[in-house]
Amino acid sequence: MFTINKAQLSYLYHLNLINLILGFKLVVFFHSVTNFELNNISLYYRAISLFLVLLVIFFNGKKIFHIKSKLFIAIVFFWIIMFVKIIYSFYYSSINYPESILKYVFTFFGVLVLPSLSILATPLEKINFKFIIKILFITLIITALLSVFSYDFNNLESRLSKYLKINPIALGYIGANLGLISGFLFFKNKRLIFILTFLLAILLIALSASRGALISLFISLLLSIIFNYNIKLKNKWGYFIGFNVFLIVVLFLSLNYNLAFSERILKLFYNSDESLRQRTVLWLASIKGFLNNPFLGNTFLISLKLKKSIVTYPHNFIFESFYTGGIIGGMLYLYILLDSFKKALKILVNSELGWISLIFIQFIIFGLLSSSIYFFYQFWLFLFLILSVSLFLKENKNNNKFN
């Protein structure tokens, strides 16, 4: 029988966790420095990731069966509803889906369910989180620098990096992640490097013109300031005022240099933003779909005709949960969101792992503005990190220190 010693298990746990946390950033970084085809890299990355995930579950999966958590039970029931809806959508609806059912099912289990469970199977007392945040911080900095230096400054109205094949939304949220971690580290250690990396993060968000990334960064940092008991009240006001002044300066510079960011902000005030109009149509369609089928719900994706027929998601976690899962699925998901948010705030206040809470809260905001329950696997990974850390703190009340 295949055996593995404690040191090798520790390496496995760290490698799996780092790989899951970094996620697509690793794919983008490798693509940037090698120029290999992005789809091929993604395929190999997913295969390696699934192999690591299965190893972790194989060696310590029994831990999952001993977990006593209402949140975990709610998640399992919601997952069952999601899976049933995927099958139902293909065999009992008239929607022509862009991918095969096998790909959707594989994504559900291989990208969402199993990686999340591998986090629960990971013994947190064996994890060096200081090492993990260093790796994440360095990777974000390198990716942000590559993105900024490859930006086409001759075309400031563009939202794309000149050489990196990464969409503006993902680019903006890389900036938001870097900004959150920079802010978290700055509140702990007042060092110039964290101010500089925060400025780099804001620059990346501005160049990507991602409004959702800026909003999620602002709200998450505001919560960090409010719930950080180590910051004096007068300093909290100072950080808050300073951050707002800084955002005004960024907006002014964006206007002065005709960045796409300023144009997208102004469109909100002049009610001329096409993407917001389309999103509003999706939200209204999902609400209407729920009201038509409040008990059984609808398909796991929504089909409607805008300029052309599209199959997409409602671009809002809550609307999607009620549209797809009906009243039961929607209420289950509301409970998952609220309970995990409450746990995230407790971790933010009481633990040195507050950076996990900040990124998770950022993902919640992103999900309410733009993303999908089914496709946004990073949300689920950080949800399970929150659940796992919360369970650890509950079981180790007298010793809640991490490595």
Conformation bin of residue 122: beta by default, left when phi > 0, alpha when psi is -120 to 50? beta
Which 8-state DSSP code applies to residue 163?
S
Distance CA 300, CA 80 (A): 12
Q: pLDDT tens string for the chain (403 positions)?
A: 556 788 889 999 999 999 998 876 666 666 655 666 666 777 778 888 999 999 999 999 999 998 989 999 999 999 999 999 999 888 888 788 888 889 899 989 998 999 999 999 999 989 999 999 999 999 899 888 887 777 765 655 555 555 555 667 777 888 899 999 998 898 888 888 998 999 899 888 877 777 788 888 888 888 888 877 666 766 777 777 776 776 677 666 655 555 555 555 555 555 556 667 778 888 888 999 999 999 888 888 887 766 667 788 888 999 999 999 999 999 999 999 999 999 999 998 876 899 999 999 999 998 888 888 988 889 999 999 999 999 998 887 755 566 6
CA distance 381 to 386: 9
* 310 within 8 A of 362, measured Cβ to Cβ: no
Q: Provide the b/e sequence for 372-403 (b: ≥16 CB within 10 Å).
A: bbbebbbbbbbbbbbbbbbbbbeeeeeebebe
| Integer angstrom CA distances of residue 138 from 26, 132, 275, 369 | 12, 10, 33, 28
What residue type is assigned to position 196 of the chain?
Answer: L
- Tell me which H or E stretch contains 310: strand 309-312
Which DSSP letter does residue 293 get? S
Kindly give the residue spans of alpha helices, DSSP state H, lying in 111-167: 114-120, 129-149
Angle between helices 129-149 and 24-34 (to 10 degrees): 50
User: How big, in percent rounded to 5, are the helix, strand and coil portions of the chain?
Assistant: 75, 0, 25
- The pLDDT score that the predictor gives to residue 79 is 96
Distances, alpha carbon 120 to alpha carbons 25, 46, 54, 357, in Å: 22, 19, 13, 16
What is the C-alpha to C-alpha distance for residues 90 and 74, in angstroms, rounded to an integer?
25
Beta bridge mates, 302 = 312
How close are the terminal C-alpha atoms of the chain, in Å?
A: 32
Contact between residue 402 and residue 352 where contact means Cβ atoms under 8 Å apart: yes
Query: Considering the entire predicted model, what is its pTM?
Result: 0.89
**Residue 345 near residue 228, CB atoms below 8 Å:** no
